[in-house]
Amino acid sequence: MSPLILSAAGAALVLDASGTGLPRVRHFGADLGSATGDELTPALASLTAAPPLLPAQGDNWYGRPGLSGGRDGEHWPVRWTLDRLDADATPGRGGTVTVAASDARAGLELVTELAMDAGGLVTMRHTLTNTAAAPYRLEGLVCALPVPARAGELLDFTGRWALEKVPQRTAFGYGVWSRENRRGRTGHDGTGLLVAGTAGFGFRGGEVWGVHAGWSGNHLHYAERLAEGPALVAAGELLEPGEIVLAEGESYRTPQVYFTWSGGGLDEASTRLHDHLRAARPLGVRPVTLNNWEATYFDHGLDRLLELADKAAAAGIERFVLDDGWFRHRRDDRAGLGDWYVDEGVWPDGLNPLAEHVRKLGMQFGLWFEPEMVNPDSDLLRAHPDWILGRSERMPPPQRNQQVLDLARPEAYDYLLERLDSLVSEYALDYIKWDHNRDIAEPVHDGVPGVHAQTLATYRLLDELRARHPELEIESCSSGGARVDYGVLARTDRVWTSDSNDALDRQAIQRWTGLLVPPERMGSHVGAPQDHITGRSLPLAFRAATALFGHMGVEWDLTSVSQAELEELAEWIALHKRLRPTLHGGRVVRADHPDPSALLHGVVLPERGVFAFVQLTSRVAIGPAPLRLPGLDPAATYEVRVAGPKPRAAGLPEWTAGPVRLSGAVLGELGLPAPVLRAESALVFEVERV
């Protein structure tokens, strides 16, 4: 069989099924032009042997196996026989491949689904079925693709609460670089995207290969290089011993794993991911949102909330979200989780007085939930102590005064679905902020590790709620950005990027979260002048310019602001609304700006773009480096003008005083003279093709 080629948007994947076993991916990278499979055969013969779709020792792969598991008392290493390969591919437009293989002696069957979309993004998943009478104990099943020898560096991410997506780089040497997550959720330190690339790759240059596991439970990403030459990147679910035991005829399906390649740096790899998510779940206009948490915390006095809603509407806000504290017994974070009934003592007339007032002001109404959690001090847990995800004889260690409900238990699932459905219906909710505020420790469901079953049950709950309320929007929040992955984003409309609204920290958090998540799905709020987590004080213009480039919102007690501050905030919100079609539909670009004290980033469409030059800290250099604008058409002419309020500055160049016209080539190569900004300030400007 001649090699099969999938190609789209400048990327290509070459699958070699000439043997009797699983096909091998001979190439994942740049498009190979008009070459046919037959023409590639001589070139492929000279390449270093690539591992098959599921690497194993029977295929001379002596690294980490793609499949691990066994049966009690008998071990048969798997050697797959290719049973079927179905392909539907169109040159330049991607396609799909389904591979079926089996090993009768090992008692296993495998189906691998491989696809390349029109944007060049590759997705893969495996389904493993036990065909023998004896149970098969699955230990691991990952999706992997090869990377070439020139991929000499690795980029991944770590972090903590309120400081997610901190990048770290290392050499891609021999052996395994593995990031393993056992938190039961994606985690503040979850890498999100593991990237291998050529030396010195950046946003706009270098060749990169990235992998992401679309799964919200325990997971792993790794890169491996053998002394014999082959290297790969891989990802999948991280299973605990005994978590998946397949009886005869039972199957396990891996999460979807996403692979992205770029010949021009991280931005192109990121664009493929963004385009895929946007095509899979298109969104309408993203309303500017106010969340009351940092404004009132647990103080739910109706008069104060009504005044807050009035101020929000006056600023141009389009959605009002009531956060934690509205349900029974919830006067602090030590009680009430699980008791999903409106607290009659705080809200004697229910939430209707607030909801009706909000809607009369022209805003949508949303509500906070944390469905997967429960406080020991709650009516729910007093009535059903056996609903905890853990051993009944020994409660798991508490975090945040919380335990985790076992959603895979039908009674707990049914209770949550009834309560959520009832409240969404009663108050015609437009929006839910769905929180998840602790790691899952010692999870046990029916005597076995429980994260896999819990994650699938959470997905079912989200899917069922959306099926009953198709217009409902859902935000995934998990102590901020601890559940940001394509598994949850397949079911929700945005993520809460971080609990930190400190705009200085947010610049980096949003920059790196944005590799995976497009702006319209990243919650980004204007917080108070002094951040409640870091204690740092920042000017409104800087806070607003930071929030502008996401799904903009406000988390600030507007009842305490001056009229001048309210008017300035309203000006930024109006700017966001005007720029929203570009910000939420364009391609994200990030310059490899030479000054480490500053950032230059933007969002571009073919006809226009929006950019921000951000001065994070004081410069070392006396003169700022020019602003070379990425992502523009070199042959087009653009008009450049400042958008919104001008920042504090020691000096602004002439072009900021009025529109100038320059070619995309000049803007991209020579750039614009940079303003001399003070630390913690930003200049937002737009370009439009003329």
| Per-residue model confidence (pLDDT) at position 138 | 98
CB-based burial, 451-463: b 16+ in 10 Å, e otherwise: bbbbbebbbebbe
Q: Is the pLDDT of residue 48 over 70?
A: no
Average pLDDT over residues 151-157: 98
Residue for token digits 């539909």?
585
- Count how many Cα atoms sit within 13 Å of the Cα of residue 79 in the half-sphere of its side chain: 8
Q: Is the pLDDT of residue 689 over 60?
A: yes
**What tokens appear for 78 in the block?**
């798997």
Average pLDDT over residues 216-226: 98
**145, part of any domain:** yes
Q: Is the pLDDT of residue 621 over 90?
A: no
Instruction: For the chain, give the percent of residues with pLDDT over 90.
Output: 92
Category of 32 on φ-ψ map: left (φ > 0), alpha (ψ -120 to 50) or beta: alpha
| pLDDT category of residue 484 using cuts at 50, 70 and 90 | very high
**Digit-coded pLDDT (tens) for 129-153:** 999 999 999 999 999 999 999 999 9
**Digit-coded pLDDT (tens) for 282-313:** 999 999 999 999 999 999 999 999 999 999 99
**Digit-coded pLDDT (tens) for 543-578:** 999 999 999 999 999 999 999 999 999 999 999 999
**421, part of any domain:** no
- Angle 611-617-623 from CA coordinates, rounded to 5°: 75
Average pLDDT over residues 631-643: 98
Domain's final residue, options 280, 301, 327: 280
**Digit-coded pLDDT (tens) for 79-120:** 999 999 999 999 999 999 999 999 999 999 999 999 999 999
Average pLDDT over residues 157-180: 98
Q: Is the pLDDT of residue 475 over 80?
A: yes
Spatial contact of 592 and 604, defined as CB atoms under 8 Å apart: no
| Per-residue model confidence (pLDDT) at position 650 | 75
| Per-residue model confidence (pLDDT) at position 40 | 74
Could you give the dihedral angle defined by the CA atoms of residues 277, 279, 284 and 288, in that order, rounded to the nearest 10 degrees? Answer: 20
Number of domains in the chain: 2
d(CA 233, CA 646): 45
**What tokens appear for 269 in the block?**
């790899």
Which uninterrupted H or E stretch holds 526? strand 522-526
Domain holding 612, by residue range, is 591-689
Any idea what the CATH number is for the domain that residue 253 is in? Answer: 2.70.98.60
Spatial contact of 585 and 565, defined as CB atoms under 8 Å apart: no
**What tokens appear for 471 in the block?**
């217009």
**44, part of any domain:** yes
| Per-residue model confidence (pLDDT) at position 373 | 98
| Residues in Cβ contact with 513 at an 8 Å cutoff, skipping those fewer than 6 apart | 164, 165, 192, 481, 484, 495, 497, 498, 522
Spatial contact of 340 and 369, defined as CB atoms under 8 Å apart: yes
**What tokens appear for 379 in the block?**
């009516």
d(CA 608, CA 690): 9
Coil vs helix vs strand at 97: strand
- Angle 106-108-110 from CA coordinates, rounded to 5°: 140
Domain's final residue, options 226, 258, 280: 280
**436, part of any domain:** no
Which has the higher per-residue pLDDT, 34 or 307? 307
d(CA 374, CA 352): 25
Any idea what the CATH number is for the domain that residue 623 is in? Answer: 2.60.40.1180
Domain's final residue, options 234, 261, 280: 280
| pLDDT category of residue 238 using cuts at 50, 70 and 90 | very high
Catalytic residue numbers, as ranges: 435, 499
**628, part of any domain:** yes
**What tokens appear for 385 in the block?**
């102590």
**372, part of any domain:** no
**498, part of any domain:** no
Strands 153-160 and 194-197: antiparallel
| Per-residue model confidence (pLDDT) at position 607 | 98
**What tokens appear for 402 in the block?**
């919380």
CA 236 to chain centre: 16
Burial zone of 38 (CB within 10 Å; 0-12 exposed, 13-18 middle, 19+ buried): exposed
Number of helices followed by number of strands (H, E) in the chain: 13, 39
Nearest one of 258, 271, 280 to 214, comparing CA atoms: 258
Q: Is the pLDDT of residue 470 over 80?
A: yes
| Per-residue model confidence (pLDDT) at position 45 | 61
Average pLDDT over residues 667-682: 96
Give the relative orientation of helices 410-426 and 451-468 as an angle to the nearest 10 degrees.
30
Per the prediction, the chain carries an average pLDDT of 96
Answer yes or no: pTM beyond 0.85. Answer: yes
**What tokens appear for 662 in the block?**
């320059």
**352, part of any domain:** no
Q: Is the pLDDT of residue 279 over 60?
A: yes
| Per-residue model confidence (pLDDT) at position 623 | 81
Q: Is the pLDDT of residue 46 over 60?
A: no
